[in-house]
Structure 1
Amino acid sequence: MLEVDGLTCRFGAKTAVDNASFSVQPGCFVGVIGRSGAGKSTLLRMINRLEKPTGGRILFEGVDVTALQGRDLRRWRARSAMIFQQFNLVGRLDVLTNVLMGRLAGVPQWRSLIQLWPQDDRAIAISALEQFDMMPMAAQRADQLSGGQQQRVAIARALVQQPDIILADEPIASLDPRNTRIVMDALLRINKHFGITVICNLHSLDLARTYCDRLIGMSAGRIVFDGVPAALTDTIARELYDLEAGEVMDETPDFVTGTLAPAFGTAAVA
Structure 2
Amino acid sequence: MLVVEGLTCRFGTKAAIDNVTFSVTPGSFVGVIGRSGAGKSTLLRSINRLNPVSDGRILYKDIDVTTLRGRELRQWRARSAMIFQQFNLVGRLDVLSNVLMGRLAEVSSWRSLAQLWPAEDIAVALSALEQFDIAALAAQRADQLSGGQQQRVAIARALVQNPEIILADEPIASLDPRNTKIVMDALLRINKHFGITVICNLHSLDLARTYCDRLIGMATGRLVFDDVPAALTAQIARELYDLEADEVMGTVPPPVSGTAIPALGEVAAA
One-letter code aligned to 2:149: Q
One-letter code aligned to 2:20: A
Contact 2:132 2:264 in 1 (8 A): no
Contact 1:37 1:220 in 2 (8 A): yes
- Which residue of the partner structure matches residue 268 of structure 2? none
One-letter code aligned to 1:134: I
Post-superposition offset of 1:93: 0.1
RMSD: 1.3
One-letter code aligned to 1:261: P
Post-superposition offset of 1:252: 4.4
User: In 1, distance between residues paired with 2:50 and 2:263?
Assistant: 34
Q: SS where residue 20 of structure 1 aligns? A: strand
Structure 1 segment 163-202 matched on structure 2, within 5 A: 163-202=163-202
- Which residue of the partner structure matches residue 148 of structure 1? 148
Post-superposition offset of 1:62: 1.9
For normalisation by structure 2, the TM-score amounts to: 0.95
Structure 1: segments with no counterpart, 5+ residues: 265-270
Change (3 A) 1:238 1:64: same
Cα offsets for 1:213-244 (capped at 9, x unmatched):
00000000000000000000011001110010
Structure 1 segment 221-236 matched on structure 2, within 5 A: 221-236=221-236
Q: SS where residue 57 of structure 1 aligns? A: strand
Cα offsets for 1:3-56 (capped at 9, x unmatched):
000000011121100000000000000000000000000000000000011000
- Which residue of the partner structure matches residue 213 of structure 1? 213
Equivalenced residue count is: 261
Structure 2: segments with no counterpart, 5+ residues: 266-270
User: In 2, distance between residues paired with 1:262 and 1:17?
Assistant: 37
Contact 2:133 2:264 in 1 (8 A): no
Post-superposition offset of 1:203: 0.1
- Which residue of the partner structure matches residue 260 of structure 1? 261
One-letter code aligned to 1:262: A
User: In 2, distance between residues paired with 1:239 and 1:111?
Assistant: 51
For normalisation by structure 1, the TM-score amounts to: 0.95
Q: SS where residue 35 of structure 1 aligns? A: coil
User: In 2, distance between residues paired with 1:198 and 1:70?
Assistant: 25
Contact 1:193 1:263 in 2 (8 A): no
Post-superposition offset of 1:102: 0.2
User: In 1, distance between residues paired with 2:197 and 2:106?
Assistant: 21
Cα offsets for 1:31-87 (capped at 9, x unmatched):
000000000000000000000110000000021000000000000000000000000
Residue 72 (structure 2) pairs with residue 65 (structure 1): no
Q: SS where residue 101 of structure 2 aligns? A: helix
Residue 154 (structure 2) pairs with residue 162 (structure 1): no
- Which residue of the partner structure matches residue 87 of structure 1? 87
Contact 1:7 1:56 in 2 (8 A): yes
Cα offsets for 1:117-143 (capped at 9, x unmatched):
001100100000000011111000000
One-letter code aligned to 2:261: L
Post-superposition offset of 1:262: 2.9
One-letter code aligned to 1:173: A
Q: SS where residue 245 of structure 1 aligns? A: helix
